[in-house]
Chains A and B, each alone.
Chain A
Amino acid sequence: METLGRAFTDALELLWNMDSTLLEIVGLTLQVTLVALAIALLLGIPIGAAIGLSRRLPGRAFLVPLIYTGMGLPPVVVGLFTYLLLSNQGPIGGLGWLFTPAGMIMAQTIIAFPLVLGLTMAAVQSVDPDLPIQMRALGATRRQVALTTLVESRIGVTAAVVAAYGSIISEVGAVMLVGGNIEGETRVLTTAIVLETRKGNFALALALGIILLGLAFMTNLVFHRLQVRQGGP
């Protein structure tokens, strides 16, 4: 209990002081997460919508379970895979992305992409199947049908964004392996929490955890405002 109590006062103190080291860690956390999320959204939403709309796609019986499996990719495995790709001996080691934020973004994009893909697909599928048929009958192009269906399923798509964001901002295994938790370069909130726990600084670790939760909450407030504006719950 003593540790828990001290953690809260420590967290407040950390927030109050906002020293440059903490700012750097928070900044990098947001940068890596948001860039990875953006790439995952740009790829995942169109492809997810396309798969959701093509109900007679050949190989669908295989593809959909594959996507669902991808939604549960273990982050450490993604980290290991990315590490081996980016290592000096790896096929794209020449990029020099190992132990850099670029490598961390790559790993997190791989984690977020199937989530966005699968949840967008499910959201699009939950729209009345007659809608695309009626729109086609009224002379809409494929693109117009896809866009309208996406707009109709916007609440589900926003949920996809929230789920992907939540999973990568709280992820530690992949960023630890690929980033290396280097102070001032690749240290993010989750890896800092692991480090401080290992050092036995439980209060500081918990304080960083509180900051991480606060950060997630603030971003989700923004997402929710968007959802409400669209007529969501």
Chain B
Amino acid sequence: MAERPCVMMVCHYAERTLMRPLILMVVFVAMLTSACSGDDTSEYEVLRLATTTSTNDSGLLDTILPGFEAAFKSRVDVVAVGTGQAIELGKAGDADVILVHSRAREDAFVADGHGTARYDVMYNDFVAVGPVGDPAAIAGTPLASDAFTTVAAVELTFASRGDDSGTHSKELSIWESAGIVPDPNSAWYKSLGQGMGATLNYSNEVGAYTLTDRGTFLSQNESLTELQVMVGGASIDENVDPVLLNPYGVIPVNPDKGNINSELADQFVVWITSLETQEKIGDYGVDTFDQPLFYPDSEAWRSR
């Protein structure tokens, strides 16, 4: 019996030391939760756009999407990933619309019934870049496949995206047309498995050749002091290799997958291919880089 007060004291002590922080934590979590739910989305419709890193990293979407959001009282959730994953997101029904650049895979996506139809949106071009000293002496080579052949012959470091992206598919098709099967285990061919920005940074650090879309290269140009364009010239007009053309397409995901906001997806397609938006796409980047990063190419634009 004499121990009873002691037990009480222990209880009291535990209560003081444990309960107070516990109550504080519960209150804190409750406050945070209510703060989050304050973000009322009921009056907004949400469009899930799966796209490639190039459209997002270049800043294009940040510039044009607010126009869509205002016009259709909606919010666009952009998932910027490689073309491979963007297409997978569409297949799984985790996106309402996809904006990607890998023509063969886009056509397969529609043919397999995952998307309703593919529409031209815009294009830009790829360029081969390399170290300023150009040890492979490929600067000014008109065709990418010839330049690649030389790089492989002298075994100078080549950085590959290696991430199944649109740019990676393009690079592989150039190797194929050159009749070369690069081996990722060889000393000169580095398969990074990373985005364009990271691959350019790598090439800049180690002095590697790589294939990049011109837009990303231009937007990162300031920090890429050791790199310069080898194939493709200073602007798209100087690019004589038709293989290096890089068209982007938009595809609404098939509503049969369920939970697809197909109405908004269709409105998005009409909006992005409209003359007004196309003009904005063509203007983007001119102020900063003296040339557009993307060239409008929708049907409406071509027949204007």
Cross-chain pair count, CB within 8 angstroms = 59
Cβ-defined contact, B82 with A182, below 8 A: no
A88 — which chain B residues lie within 8 A by C-beta?
205, 226
Task: Tell me the chain A residues, 57-84 only, with Cβ under 8 Å from chain B.
Answer: none
Contact partner of A197 (CB less than 8 A), chosen from B85, B162, B206, is B85
B193 — which chain A residues lie within 8 A by C-beta?
181-183, 187, 191-192, 195
* CB proximity of A78 to chain B, nearest CB, Å: 17
Chain B's closest residue to A176 (CB) is: B194
A202 — which chain B residues lie within 8 A by C-beta?
88
Task: Tell me the chain B residues, 75-104 only, with Cβ under 8 Å from chain A.
Answer: 81-82, 84-85, 87-89
Q: How far is the CA of A191 from the CA of B192 in the complex (A)?
A: 10
Chain B's closest residue to A195 (CB) is: B193
Cβ-defined contact, B191 with A183, below 8 A: yes
Q: How far is the CA of A183 from the CA of B183 in the complex (A)?
A: 10
Cβ-defined contact, A199 with B84, below 8 A: yes
A143 contacts the other chain (CB 8 A): no
A187 — which chain B residues lie within 8 A by C-beta?
193
Q: Known: A99-B202, A199-B163, A199-B164. Contact between A182 and B85, CB under 8 A?
A: no
A176 — which chain B residues lie within 8 A by C-beta?
194
A98 contacts the other chain (CB 8 A): yes
B190 — which chain A residues lie within 8 A by C-beta?
182-183, 185
Task: Tell me the chain A residues, 183-206 only, with Cβ under 8 Å from chain B.
Answer: 183-185, 187, 191-192, 195, 197-200, 202
Count of residues in A whose CB is under 8 Å from the partner chain: 20
B17 contacts the other chain (CB 8 A): no
Cβ-defined contact, A198 with B206, below 8 A: no
* CB proximity of A177 to chain B, nearest CB, Å: 8
A198 — which chain B residues lie within 8 A by C-beta?
81-82, 84-85, 163-165
B10 — which chain A residues lie within 8 A by C-beta?
none
Q: Known: A88-B205, A98-B205. Contact between A180 and B198, CB under 8 A?
A: yes
Cβ-defined contact, B164 with A181, below 8 A: no
Count of residues in B whose CB is under 8 Å from the partner chain: 23
* CB proximity of B285 to chain A, nearest CB, Å: 25
B185 — which chain A residues lie within 8 A by C-beta?
183-184
A167 contacts the other chain (CB 8 A): no
Q: How far is the CA of A49 from the CA of B206 in the complex (A)?
A: 42
Cβ-defined contact, B205 with A181, below 8 A: no
Cβ-defined contact, A87 with B192, below 8 A: no
Cβ-defined contact, B198 with A200, below 8 A: no
Task: Tell me the chain B residues, 159-176 only, with Cβ under 8 Å from chain A.
Answer: 162-165
Cβ-defined contact, A99 with B85, below 8 A: no
Cβ-defined contact, B205 with A183, below 8 A: no
* CB proximity of A46 to chain B, nearest CB, Å: 33
B113 contacts the other chain (CB 8 A): no
Cβ-defined contact, A199 with B206, below 8 A: no
Cβ-defined contact, A195 with B163, below 8 A: yes
B66 contacts the other chain (CB 8 A): no
Q: How far is the CA of A176 from the CA of B193 in the complex (A)?
A: 10
Chain A's closest residue to B207 (CB) is: A88
Q: How far is the CA of A177 from the CA of B291 in the complex (A)?
A: 31
Q: Mark B259-271, 1 if CB is under 8 A from A, else 0.
A: 0000000000000
Q: How far is the CA of A82 from the CA of B202 in the complex (A)?
A: 15
* CB proximity of B210 to chain A, nearest CB, Å: 13
Q: How far is the CA of A99 from the CA of B205 in the complex (A)?
A: 9
B198 — which chain A residues lie within 8 A by C-beta?
180
B226 — which chain A residues lie within 8 A by C-beta?
88
Cβ-defined contact, B192 with A181, below 8 A: yes
Chain A's closest residue to B89 (CB) is: A200
Chain A's closest residue to B202 (CB) is: A180
Contact partner of A180 (CB less than 8 A), chosen from B87, B89, B184, B194, is B194
Q: Which residues of B contact A (CB under 8 A)?
A: 81-82, 84-85, 87-89, 162-165, 184-185, 190-194, 198, 202, 205-206, 226
**3 interchain residue pairs of minimum CB distance:** A200-B88, A199-B164, A195-B193
Taking A182-B192, A197-B85, A202-B88 as known contacts, 10 extra A-B pairs with beta carbons closer than 8 A to each other, sorted by chain A number, are A99-B202, A99-B205, A181-B194, A183-B185, A184-B184, A198-B81, A198-B163, A199-B163, A200-B84, A200-B88
A sample of 29 inter-chain contacts (CB < 8 A) reads A87-B205, A88-B205, A99-B202, A99-B206, A176-B194, A180-B194, A180-B202, A181-B192, A181-B193, A183-B162, A183-B185, A183-B190, A183-B192, A184-B184, A184-B185, A185-B190, A192-B193, A195-B162, A195-B193, A197-B85, A198-B164, A198-B165, A199-B84, A199-B163, A200-B82, A200-B85, A200-B88, A200-B164, A202-B88
